[in-house]
Chains A and B, each alone.
Chain A
Amino acid sequence: MSDKTKFWVLLVLLFASLALLWFVNSNLSHILTDQFH
């Protein structure tokens, strides 16, 4: 795999990780399971 391909793969993974981080830290997951806990 060339460095250029690796770069794009890692960039996608980075944004996927950031999206997951935002999801677990935001109110979105709370809204999706809005119940007493």
Chain B
Amino acid sequence: MVTFVTFISLVVKVLVSLGVMPKLSRINSCLLVIIIVINAYIIAAPFAPTTWFWWQSHHSQQRTQLDQKAHRQKVAKPQPNSVIIPSTLLDQPILEGRDTYTILNKGIWRWPGSSTPDKNGNTILIGHRFTYTNPRGVFYFLNKVSVGDEIGVTWQNINYRYKVSNIKVVPPSDTSILNNTPRPTLTLYTCTPLWWPKDRLVVTAQLENNL
């Protein structure tokens, strides 16, 4: 620290002796502006996802619809496995694998122990609500889903339409949501509340039909 202060003092003295030192009051003004900008960014960053959602909901024409996507896929090339939730403006690929942390940092992870949409049973999709390095996780807006909302899943080029039947908050120790089900079910799993992930948000949806 002493070395650093000495270094700064030396730099100031050299600049003064060369006659290129701007007025100290001007330097202070610049420093103040830089400090304000940095701190404004730090304060505003957590609100950016909500602002983005508000803007997209009110001004964008890109709101994804299940039927539109299904139509696109009928005329398009084979599509990757993906999940789409129109009410949260989510359209993301479903990732597979067993390296939990790596995959969850990339997107939505299908829990390997669960079923798949083409089979009867419980398909479990897990995603981050937020990450510290990237505030908006894939399930950041999952709390905006309501009972009755539609969820679309593309699995091996077949589109499945689910309807949300239940939304609940459970403690992390509650593993009953991992149980298999007799009916084709989709379970979405993430953390809640935002920024203080002490519980888990579980959205359950039942298969309506194939698109």
Contact residues in B for A10 (Cβ distance below 8 Å):
28, 31-32, 35
Nearest A residue to B126 by beta-carbon distance?
A: A36
Cβ of A36 and Cβ of B133 under 8 Å apart?
A: no
Nearest B residue to A6 by beta-carbon distance?
A: B28
Name B's interface SS.
helix
CA gap between A31 and B131 in the complex, in Å: 11
Cβ of A21 and Cβ of B41 under 8 Å apart?
A: yes
Cβ of A14 and Cβ of B39 under 8 Å apart?
A: no
CA gap between A14 and B191 in the complex, in Å: 35
Chain A 21-37 per-residue mask, 1 if CB under 8 angstroms from chain B, else 0 = 10011110110010111
The residue in B39, B104, B130, B137 that gathers the most chain A C-beta atoms within 10 A of its C-beta is B39
Q: How many A-B pairs fall under 8 Å by CB? A: 59
The range of chain A's interface size is 20 to 34
How many chain B residues touch A (CB < 8 A): the figure is: 25
Cβ of A27 and Cβ of B133 under 8 Å apart?
A: yes
CA gap between A10 and B26 in the complex, in Å: 12
Please tell me if B14 contacts chain A, counting CB pairs below 8 Å: no
Least CB distance, B13 to chain A, in whole angstroms: 12
Contact residues in B for A27 (Cβ distance below 8 Å):
132-133
Given known contacts A7-B24, A7-B28, A37 and B38 CB-to-CB distance under 8 angstroms: no
Name A's interface SS.
helix
Chain B 111-132 per-residue mask, 1 if CB under 8 angstroms from chain A, else 0 = 0000000000000000011111
Contact residues in A for B35 (Cβ distance below 8 Å):
10, 13-14, 17
CA gap between A33 and B198 in the complex, in Å: 12
Nearest B residue to A30 by beta-carbon distance?
A: B132
CA gap between A11 and B34 in the complex, in Å: 10
Contact residues in B for A3 (Cβ distance below 8 Å):
24-25, 28
Given known contacts A10-B28, A20-B38, A24-B42, what 18 new A-B pairs fall within 8 Å (CB)?
Answer: A3-B28, A4-B24, A7-B24, A7-B27, A10-B32, A11-B8, A14-B31, A17-B39, A17-B42, A18-B38, A21-B41, A24-B45, A27-B132, A29-B132, A30-B133, A36-B191, A37-B137, A37-B197
